[in-house]
Structure 1
Amino acid sequence: MKKYSSMACTSLTSKISSEQCPECGVSFSGRRLEEAPISVPNPFSNGHKAPCAFLVAPTEENILREFDGGSDLHTGITDTKGVVYNYTKTGVRRDHQGWERCISIPLVQPDMYNLINQWDQYLEKFSSAQMWDPLWQSFNEENHNCYSYTLMFINCVLATQSKRALSKDEFTQTFVLPRVKRASKYSMLCREISQNHFYIVDSPKRNSQEGQSDEEEDHKNNL
């Protein structure tokens, strides 16, 4: 392999589909994906299997349902059974399916038993409030939308725990944006591999450090 460059080659199947590395010519014959020195963690999860979590997913208008960095996103909150409460133009929906591939941010630590026991009650009472009734207040893309619904609920829960409220910018920058960026990079990587069977990067050391930094931030930035 050339010293001045390196690359990450992989495949969407269990076998590496390219016969050789397009950069340095190393043969991939007989090698399996599991033998690759680097793995990229999947940033997506099944939201219906993530209780008491904040979810982010592409809107239904995004036909491909991809995180491409440009499409609108939709947010929701799960109850303890994985039902996704989300605010739309028709009011609060309670989805039992449709959030199988999304970004999930856990909101409750496993040992917070009192909060977990009251979570569904809090969520249902909050979602039944008049302000989420479209007959009383219409959906507004700027200041009365799915994001304001989820963040307001999170701040209500924080208030019950005697914790300070989070501003929109603070919550976005700390919890949402890093994960959305990672999801966009992952989606781009999958598209490149699907189309070309490989993806080349300039510096494996730098990219490895970036990946570790993302994981550390992800672990640190939990509510």
Structure 2
Amino acid sequence: MDTSVIKLSHCEKDIFCFFVPDQCPECGMSFSGKRLEEAPVSVPNPFSNGHKVPCAFLVAPAEHTVLRDFDGQSDLHTGITNTNGIVYNYTRAGVQRETEGWERCVCVPLVQPDMFSLINQWDQYLEKFSSHQMWDPLCHSFDEETHNCYSFTLTFINCVLAAQSKPGLSKDRFTHTFVLPRIRRASKYMMLCREISQNHFHIVDSPKRSSRESPSEDEDSKAF
């Protein structure tokens, strides 16, 4: 389980830590009687338990390690959840249906909660799609470049879009619009946790000050 990250604002700085200190590590002033704007807030954790997010696209490091860390070095593996949190994912052995192992991953919800008709058909769509001979290793071999876990998940998404009479998504568009922003947040969150673990605090200029210096920064680059 990830340790919760807390953010405090003081001395025109943002102070990230795992606990609320008695005094500001920047100026030494006591935090007792601090103003409302200086109250600690929790930093959103970018990781989710994929088995608890129905009808979602999941990304996790390919290696099944205990931490499944997004270290920037690991190959990434993708999957699609059904309405019960079972993760369908394509490997060299064919389509796997996993009830565990995706407890810490990046999730992209695909269906709005009020799309009842699609939700009711989701499991049927996913099972039928996964049973197609296209994903049978005896008929089509896994290929790291052209026939892999990502092509499995994106092809399924586009099949559902087609069934809804909606235009499909290219690999580049889906990646840059839905996946990369979340991967960046996850990577920055991990870097932040490592920095705090090593130095107890991570201190940066407050957003107000930074925004004046870098007005062109997008939302993703300002995650922390």
Name the aligned partner's letter for residue 10 of structure 1: C
Counterparts of 1:1-223 in structure 2, within 5 Å, are 6-11=13-18, 15-16=19-20, 20-27=23-30, 36-60=39-63, 64-205=67-208, 206=210, 213-214=219-220
1:50 and 1:196 map into 2 onto residues whose CA distance is 34
Name the aligned partner's letter for residue 9 of structure 1: F
TM-score scaled to structure 1, two decimals? 0.82
Call closer, same or farther: CA 1:2–1:170 in 2, change over 3 Å.
closer
Unmatched segments (≥5 aa) in structure 1:
215-223
CA contact (8 A) 1:43 1:182 kept: yes
Offset, 1:69: 2.8
Offset, 1:19: 6.0
Name the aligned partner's letter for residue 169 of structure 2: L
What is the identity percentage for the equivalent residue pairs of Structure 1 and Structure 2?
Answer: 70
Judge which range, 144-153 or 132-141, deviates more: 132-141
Call closer, same or farther: CA 1:170–1:90 in 2, change over 3 Å.
same
Which structure exhibits the higher relative contact order, with contacts defined as CA atoms closer than 8 Å and separated by 6 or more residues? 1
Unmatched segments (≥5 aa) in structure 2:
1-8
Which protein is richer in strand relative to its size? 2
Call closer, same or farther: CA 1:61–1:99 in 2, change over 3 Å.
closer
CA contact (8 A) 2:79 2:87 kept: yes
CA contact (8 A) 1:69 1:181 kept: no
Offset, 1:113: 1.4
Structure 1 vs Structure 2 CA RMSD: 2.7
TM-score scaled to structure 2, two decimals? 0.81
2:216 and 2:51 map into 1 onto residues whose CA distance is 29
Offset, 1:167: 0.2
Name the aligned partner's letter for residue 82 of structure 2: D
